[in-house]
Amino acid sequence: ALAAAPTRRTRTSALTHIATMSASTSAISAKARSCFAGTAPRGSRRALARSGATAATSADKCRARRSLTPRAAVAEPPGPSRTDAEIRAEEAILAGDDSDGTIAGFTKLEWSCIQTPARYLGNEIGAVHKDWDSAEVRFTMAYPEIYEVGASNLGHVVLYTILNNQPGMLCDRSYLPGEDMEQLMKSKDRKLFAVESKRPLAHFDALGLSLAYELGAVNILEMLHLSGVPLSWKERDDKPDEVWDVDNGSWPLVFIGGPTATSNPEPVADFCDFVCIGDGEDIMPEIGECLKKCKREKLNREETLFRLATEVVGVYVPRFYDSPPGWGGAVFPIREGVPERVRRRVSDPNPLMQIGLVPYVSTVHDRLTVEIRRGCTRGCRFCQPGMLTRPARDVDPEVVVEAVERGMRDTGYNEFSLLSLSCSDYLALPSVGLEIKNRLKDENVTLSLPSQRIDRFDDSVANILGGAGKAGLTFAPEAGTQRLRDIVNKGLTNDELLHGVQTAYDRGWRNVKLYFMIGLPGETDADVLGIAETVEWLIKTVAGNVARKRDELTLTLTLSNFTPKPHTPFQWHSVSTDEFERRGTLLKAALKKVRNVKSNWTSIRISAMEDFIGRGDRALCPVIRRSWELGAHKDTWWDGQDASFRAFDGAIAEAGLDWKYRQVVNGEWDVLEKLGDKDYRAQGGGGKGRVDRGALADERLDAPLPWDHIDTGIAKWWLKADLQKALEGITVPDCSHSGICTECGVCGDEFGENVVAEVPPLPVFEGHYTPDGRRTQRLRFRFTKDGKESFIGHLDTLRLLERAARRAALPVSMTRSPYSSRPRISTAMALPLGASSEAEMMEIVLTEKMNAEEVRAKLDEQLPAGMRLTEVEDLPVKYLNGRYMETMNELLNSAEFLVHVAVPGAVAKPGVTAGGAGDAPSWDVEGGGAFFDAGKNGDGIPEAEVEEEDAEAAAAAAAEAAAEAKAAAATTPEDWRGWVAGAMALDSFKIKKTSKKGNTRQVDLRPQLLGLEYMDQTAVDAALKGKHIPIPPTPQPGTALLRFKGEYTGAGGLSVDNMAKILGSVAGKELQVLHSHRVAISLDEPTPPKVDKLWLDNIVRAEAFMGLERIWDPEAGVNNRGHMGGDTDGDRIDNHKSYRPAEEKEKESEKDLPPGRNNKWKKK
């Protein structure tokens, strides 16, 4: 039918019809659309024949069988047969059409089954939605991690903001989907999409991915695969003679950036069209402008890439370079005109561009982040970021203060972080931090800092940390002995370490986190045990023998395995995994004897794999690809290490690189093996030899390396010379602060110079934030929650409301908790995820009296489109006796919903089930998919009996689904009315509830069912008039719209799902809730307190005494106003004298007492 459809309109209608077919044909329709679109992989016919709903028993059997087998060898999608513009237009319609409640082509029911659907909505505060057609160049910044990680990455947000600020350029975002979303996409045959436009990533001109760490390479392949984009640049260049034009069927340009890509791009060279080397703020707009010119000149793919390589400094195009055998993986250009070495780009940080997205979901770094310094010149010999980010560039202190102050107002965050590789090296930190703290003193704001130099932690730094909740402290001594710290050039003494921890303890910190490494070059067992000795010494010296346990010092240690990195003096070093394990065992035994120490250890095997990939060459590209095919991707490194290592081990063996991996595992070379040799300089024997040059030089230091073609600015001879200094235990000063140049080679015209900001005067510290708990005004709002915002969870909604109130600058009252002060903002009751509402209720308590309508207008401006404040009510805060009025939660009694329900077979089943991935068919690779059946021969071809079994199960399921669909179509309004009447006539309906502790109890739900009504077409029309909710105006056969009223209290109530269970028990069917819409929340009337006669008598008596005092002693009673009620000092009736001005006490004697105030009068 699709193939015969002559026009785009009729084909779109056919697609819409297919999307609404019953469950028995949903999988087939999705596959048919894939075949029509020309994106179905090879083997589609076989998969199509076996697709369709699968019986539950067969699905369980298949899942158990397939979960034990690896991913098959991936068959890339064929060349994009996208010359038909109608196919792209239909995908665009699916991306943008939400007229029937769908988003990105997924129904409301399907979105409700996804865990945290707000990840994929693209409607955050700060999200940019630019017109698609007016953009000349379209980028996607795709972060190969889940949303919670990617959305909080500063570089990701900065590049997104910068590109969208450029005229003629558009930039959207995309993230690695969760397992449930991945299965849903497969069930609907949808490709990975950008969250703003909902367009498939293959529609964009350039697809940028960030490589933040070595093992993230497999995630990059996963994202490309989910996008339907071929994995290698060779496969994407399927039309070499045609004009590169994505709108007419060309594949997008795939580029990679990030610290790992800058360090050594060779292990991923086959997968990207080009690599961005260095900082991205300046290079990305230049790439966009270059692509504009190339598109206007109608260049082909190769010439477009050549323009990028020759006109934009910092662009590395792997196809123009080759790695000949016998050269140690070194890379050389093979096309004339491209640079022999690609220079790293250096950009100055701009904090004002870092004020960007405010996600609704709680992210990993859920705070405002402002960069204060980029680069580090400390010269730690193990630290790759310190070498790749030189020169050091401070941000002007005034700019930092402005960015933080503006950012906190614009985003609504209550926490911010000042970011740098070493914040303590930003000498203006105390002044800037105190200035920010003073300006935001009256707001609930907390400052946190990443790992900092312990030798610069003092009282001024301690003053700027914390706020409403004290932030944690993290220091990095790295090594346990002074000797080893000198070898790695850490530049930290034991006295400085003690002083820093002592300062933290004296300022109230009882837990400090310390970072150490094992396996550093030159390390001995004494150095390993020195970690335990240093920790024990700190605990005993700092805290001593305190009386209370809560005053003891606790240290949390993070112990990682040293991994050599390219472009560092230790880039030639390696340690065997056996040695790591031996030293780790030695240290664990020593730490067991130390009290108040917690330790966290990194995986040795992961460290070895990071080393293997991080210092690898282009020969590792097939290994990474094959390991991904075998299942090593996503978060399996932490949740399934064994499976991932099996995948990598198998891939390494297939590539014949076992010998290379063994070099890493066994420890190929200890670069400080000459430590203690008397023939070398300063080794105890007066030797004059050097390891880097001269007669005793080690020739292995001159061998070519796979990353030599990356020009970081640091000369290779300098790295060798610094290795010699490590051998001698010589420390190198910080050139940006000492003024002593170490001649590393960075500073100059190409990379710039060190920039050290002038330190402003240290302002006077005005004190920490004190919560303002006054309750002056109480406002109750009613608001809507619909559209995309209905997929924001309850806790995320509360956080959204708090941030909106801060952006609106409302004086919200705070709780006076000594641990964490919270704003007094509350909602009446939680709304189920995916449900919409027109009757949500919220209360805000203010410290100052304001016009209620002005508050509503201010707050409404800060809320997203789906949350609109419809009315506001000014309520009293207290009763006359001073007691605070009841909360909404205490007054809650019932809620009313419109509920769209369906019998089985009436609507298509979603591709996933709530809470996890469903039984959606998978055909992403040749012969099967992610749940791949390797077959007896391991060739990816399932056995014939398995196909027959699946076919039989599919036929049985199809027959069952057809019967359900027939029964659903025969359901009448009388049936629904009868079921509703039967439910209301029930005496009881008991279910078992299990507590978090595992205790079960029976609960009768029937008393909580207050009302249930079937709505005919007239009632449906009246109920839905003027409302934009995903309920069809005419319910389809087998579905009904019900009006449901349930009992709700602060302790809980009857949910919509449980109501469906009650109704389903009468109908004899398992009813499905398609959508629920809350129309009302009912509260009880407040209960005024009973009159307390004794309390009133006390008031009268007190007033009488105060009246006499004012008559007989006017001066003393002038400030006595008879304050009563409240909790603070001076507000209780028995301490009204505290309102008098403080005076010096005089000796009381009969003659000194004022008239009428002598003891005789008192007795009388």
- What are the pLDDT digits (tens) for 139-187? 999 999 999 999 999 999 999 999 999 999 999 999 999 989 999 999 8
Low-confidence ranges of the chain (pLDDT < 50): 1-84, 468, 636-637, 916-946, 1122-1151, 1153, 1156-1158, 1160-1164
On whether the CB atoms of residues 705 and 327 are closer than 8 A, the answer is: no
Helix (H) or strand (E) holding 806: helix 794-807
- Phi then psi for residue 185, to 5 deg, are -60, -40
Please tell me the predicted confidence (pLDDT) of residue 854.
96
1075 Cβ contact partners less than 8 Å away, ≥ 6 residues apart: 101, 108, 109, 834, 835, 836, 899, 900, 1029, 1030, 1031
If you search the block for the tokens 């008098």, which residue do you land on? 1140
On whether the CB atoms of residues 828 and 774 are closer than 8 A, the answer is: no
Q: How many CA atoms lie within 13 A of 805 on its CB side?
A: 26
CA distance linking residue 385 with residue 705, whole number of Å: 19
On whether the CB atoms of residues 156 and 357 are closer than 8 A, the answer is: no
Structure tokens at 975: 């049936």
Q: In 108-213, which ranges are continuous DSSP H helix?
A: 108-112, 147-150, 154-164, 179-187
Residue 921: is the preceding peptide bond cis (ω within 30°)?
A: no
CA distance linking residue 38 with residue 1109, whole number of Å: 95
Q: How many CA atoms lie within 13 A of 117 on its CB side?
A: 27
DSSP letter assigned to residue 1010: E
Adjacent-strand bridge partners of 208: 141, 255
Residue 324 burial class via C-beta count within 10 angstroms: exposed 0-12, middle 13-18, buried 19 and up: exposed
Strands (E), 552-703: 554-561, 597-601
Structure tokens at 1016: 């005919």
Please tell me the predicted confidence (pLDDT) of residue 962.
87
Please tell me the predicted confidence (pLDDT) of residue 383.
93
- Give residue 1084's identity as a one-letter amino acid code: D
If you search the block for the tokens 């944690």, which residue do you land on? 472
Adjacent-strand bridge partners of 447: 416, 466
CA distance linking residue 574 with residue 520, whole number of Å: 9
Nearest to 65 by CA among 77, 73, 76, 57: 57
Sign of CA dihedral 359, 363, 366, 370: negative
Please tell me the predicted confidence (pLDDT) of residue 135.
95
- Residues of 158-185 as b/e, b for ≥16 C-beta within 10 angstroms? bbbbbbbebeebbbbbbbbbbebbbbbb
On whether the CB atoms of residues 455 and 425 are closer than 8 A, the answer is: no
Can you spell out the DSSP letters for 1116-1164? TTTT-----SSSSTT-SGGGGGGGSPP-------TTTSPTT-SHHHHH-
* Residue 668: Cβ within 10 Å count: 15
Structure tokens at 552: 């003891």
Please tell me the predicted confidence (pLDDT) of residue 955.
83
Could you give the C-alpha distances from 1116 to 597, 1101, 1142, 1148, 1160, in angstroms and in order? 60, 19, 11, 16, 19
Please tell me the predicted confidence (pLDDT) of residue 1107.
83
Sign of CA dihedral 949, 954, 955, 960: positive
Structure tokens at 979: 């079921």
DSSP letter assigned to residue 790: G
If you search the block for the tokens 């955050």, which residue do you land on? 124
CA distance linking residue 393 with residue 346, whole number of Å: 10
- DSSP 3-state assignment of 1045? strand
On whether the CB atoms of residues 514 and 534 are closer than 8 A, the answer is: no
Q: How many CA atoms lie within 13 A of 855 on its CB side?
A: 24
Please tell me the predicted confidence (pLDDT) of residue 954.
78
Sign of CA dihedral 788, 794, 795, 801: positive
CA distance linking residue 279 with residue 264, whole number of Å: 15
- DSSP 3-state assignment of 907? coil
CA distance linking residue 652 with residue 613, whole number of Å: 11
